[in-house]
Structure 1
């Protein structure tokens, strides 16, 4: 199928994902204004960011910033860990052996700690606050959100899904179930700024300007998440809620040193949590694959968790615009992202080589970019219960459904990219 046909399918896929969300909800009247506004805003953000030289240059410079961040982090890890942290090895490398001494846990993941500290400082210095306020204003006006919902949604672009609700902690007890579900959905369909650099390091050499695409994906997933959340859990008639602007608390950090140390502490928690999840879930998948070895080969290949997930998600990625010949491979990435996490999925994407076309790799880069996975459900529940213990019943009931809505939102984001000419992103 030519590119025009695939673009058309991606466009139709947007309606399909919205229809799935509507079917899973109470099936109330579709908010046509919100539907048009959310889809239009997604296309507008992608088009504006990549159509103009200044914004395109800014997105491309982000990859250079990530490289600088990696070099700075390597200076620290080399001092602490020696050659396993990136320093020169004190021995000769066997020319016939593996040439890479790159160790993910000691050289890539420590960027989480550094970036977490930098993000905390930028928040203390009110740089991130200014940006979040701007996005919150846009979302409140264009997507008709309450002040608390718009602020929570905007903060998710830069903060984690458990950190952003802290900004609206005073409003959490009174927040409607619809807005609570919306904030959960946005949290699952975006990624925190502290982990973006990890994805960029994984996609280095696979996707040009990877940092810009990761940031763009997190941006355009917000309108998709709002639409999907409103279709699956629309507001009640009396939940017009406060439409005024929401004040951002000014006492998150008491000083720059408090921001720096707190950011480091938060980064270490995230660092350890990711390592533990990667070890555990990869081990579980491997154990399941060992068990599946007893099953006869299917179509000449052994049955694995990856193949099963590929079959399950193949129709969904096909709707996003992936050719059917590549749908099982692309679907396995979406499945790994849901069952494990996006780090494993991006690692799989980087290792697929020619199995996916450049267009399919671009779509999957956007479709994978989100925290919608099973382990994140527990993280989200724990974080929200600490902030709003009075909403325990609502949080426990809504979180599993938000996993579905967050997945649909990132698939819609992939569909938006697929509906646009690839020359827009590659030119």
Structure 2
């Protein structure tokens, strides 16, 4: 019955996308059906083929190695703030853990590593493989396929840079696909960070997050194709991915600089968005309490999300917790949602519900990310600034539906 519930929820998620479509007559059923089939196939292979599952479980070892290496650098630079021996005794467990100095430096290391792998032509080969898969199965053009594939590994602004010369030529539907893929996946830098956060409460966290990002890419294309169907033929073109670095050390330097900007941007956006949400919550707190608890933005979004997380497979009594997590993800960001997820009491969610929520929350669809996307995409293709802004809120909705469908797929399997 639980699997049936998730199966019905999977259909319902795509039905919602169809219901809010701009033009239902132009919807191509093939894209939707293949998108769902790809989600189910990849998830089935990873969850039910032991060697493949073991390979993904091995990613936890890589996460620990990267975390340990990063801590060596942060300890040298920041001392005990970065993970070195404490010169005092903690008053409570975890009191000395400072997010900016302990967890976030990993972003800089991963950025540098990704730049090196791009220069060595390792990452481009992986991305090209996924691009061919999407082109041949979902019928999208090369630029959209490559951008979608790159979004599995890098961020919502970095991925479209691979196809920058083609952005001006994409039609409205294809542009929306590019934006939705950015909202429905997470960057590799953040993937490792989130795995370290939820690792203590979810075995094989790194593998699950990677699979979630892979599964959500075809889901994003399918949902976007439902909401804004394509009218003409897909945009094609010869695509090449090349590093601008002149050597390995130059790649490290460029990656480090890019990682530093991302590091500072994460801190700034996290600070501002949490502050703004707290300000809104303060205003909502002036209203009469509901259910013995003050109103808040995450509670409001949580009420909207509760039926949706119930649809994808959570029991109704656990759907309140799941809905609130999705509400936090939308109102603030998935980083704070995963932090809250890791702090849940053991009996708040069952093992199955924890797994479904891990996949459902694995995406950048939130208002903070919207600001990043609008600024980045408008910089890449300024002549389409107004069009990009007009698609912004829709991309959050589409990205959320895509990750919810991924959670439903895991519930089915």
Tell me the TM-score normalized by structure 1: 0.92
| Structure 1 segment 208-223 matched on structure 2, within 5 A | 208-223=203-218
8 Å contact from structure 2 (residues 378, 384) kept in 1? yes
CA displacement 1:17-56 (0-9 Å, x = unmatched): 1111112112225422222211111011011123223321
Give the secondary structure class of the aligned counterpart of 2:246.
coil
1:239 maps to 2:226 = no
Q: CA deviation at 1:356?
A: 1.4
Q: CA RMSD in A?
A: 1.6
Partner of 2:13: 17
Alignment match of 2:181 (pick from 173, 180, 186): 186
Tell me, in whole angstroms, the C-alpha distance in 1 between the residues paired with 2:318 and 2:97: 30
Q: CA deviation at 1:166?
A: 1.1
1:375 maps to 2:371 = no
| Structure 1 segment 135-284 matched on structure 2, within 5 A | 135-236=130-231, 238-242=232-236, 246-284=238-276
Q: CA deviation at 1:338?
A: 1.0
Give the secondary structure class of the aligned counterpart of 2:17.
helix
- List structure 1 runs of 4+ shifted beyond 6 angstroms: none
Count of residues in Structure 1 that have an aligned counterpart in Structure 2:
411
Partner of 1:49: 46
Q: CA deviation at 1:99?
A: 5.2
Q: 1:403 to 1:88 in 2, by over 3 A?
A: same
Tell me, in whole angstroms, the C-alpha distance in 2 between the residues paired with 1:377 and 1:93: 38
Q: 1:34 to 1:92 in 2, by over 3 A?
A: closer
8 Å contact from structure 1 (residues 176, 239) kept in 2? no
Q: Comparing 28-37 with 396-405, which one deviates more in the overlay? A: 28-37
Give the secondary structure class of the aligned counterpart of 1:174.
coil
Q: CA deviation at 1:137?
A: 0.8
Partner of 1:32: 29
| Structure 1 segment 62-77 matched on structure 2, within 5 A | 62-77=59-74
Tell me, in whole angstroms, the C-alpha distance in 2 between the residues paired with 1:137 and 1:43: 19
8 Å contact from structure 2 (residues 56, 207) kept in 1? yes
Tell me, in whole angstroms, the C-alpha distance in 2 between the residues paired with 1:176 and 1:24: 19
Q: CA deviation at 1:109?
A: 0.6
| Structure 1 segment 360-371 matched on structure 2, within 5 A | 360-371=353-364
8 Å contact from structure 1 (residues 46, 220) kept in 2? yes
Q: 1:304 to 1:400 in 2, by over 3 A?
A: closer
CA displacement 1:178-210 (0-9 Å, x = unmatched): 111101100100001011111011102100000
Give the secondary structure class of the aligned counterpart of 2:282.
helix
Partner of 1:59: 56
Tell me, in whole angstroms, the C-alpha distance in 2 between the residues paired with 1:411 and 1:40: 16
Structure 2: segments with no counterpart, 5+ residues: none
8 Å contact from structure 1 (residues 172, 388) kept in 2? yes
Q: Comparing 208-217 with 50-59, which one deviates more in the overlay? A: 50-59
Q: 1:284 to 1:394 in 2, by over 3 A?
A: closer
8 Å contact from structure 2 (residues 60, 204) kept in 1? yes
Tell me, in whole angstroms, the C-alpha distance in 2 between the residues paired with 1:40 and 1:11: 13
Tell me, in whole angstroms, the C-alpha distance in 1 between the residues paired with 2:50 and 2:2: 27
Give the secondary structure class of the aligned counterpart of 2:154.
coil
Tell me, in whole angstroms, the C-alpha distance in 1 between the residues paired with 2:243 and 2:206: 31
Structure 1: segments with no counterpart, 5+ residues: 421-427
8 Å contact from structure 1 (residues 310, 327) kept in 2? no
Tell me the TM-score normalized by structure 2: 0.95
8 Å contact from structure 1 (residues 307, 328) kept in 2? no
Alignment match of 1:134 (pick from 123, 129, 136): 129
Q: Comparing 32-41 with 50-59, which one deviates more in the overlay? A: 50-59
8 Å contact from structure 2 (residues 118, 242) kept in 1? no
CA displacement 1:376-399 (0-9 Å, x = unmatched): 111111111221122223212222
Tell me, in whole angstroms, the C-alpha distance in 1 between the residues paired with 2:79 and 2:195: 24
| Structure 1 segment 238-387 matched on structure 2, within 5 A | 238-242=232-236, 246-353=238-345, 354-387=347-380
Q: CA deviation at 1:223?
A: 1.1
Alignment match of 1:114 (pick from 89, 109, 113): 109
Tell me, in whole angstroms, the C-alpha distance in 2 between the residues paired with 1:77 and 1:318: 41
Tell me, in whole angstroms, the C-alpha distance in 1 between the residues paired with 2:199 and 2:208: 12
CA displacement 1:70-95 (0-9 Å, x = unmatched): 1111111111111111000123445x
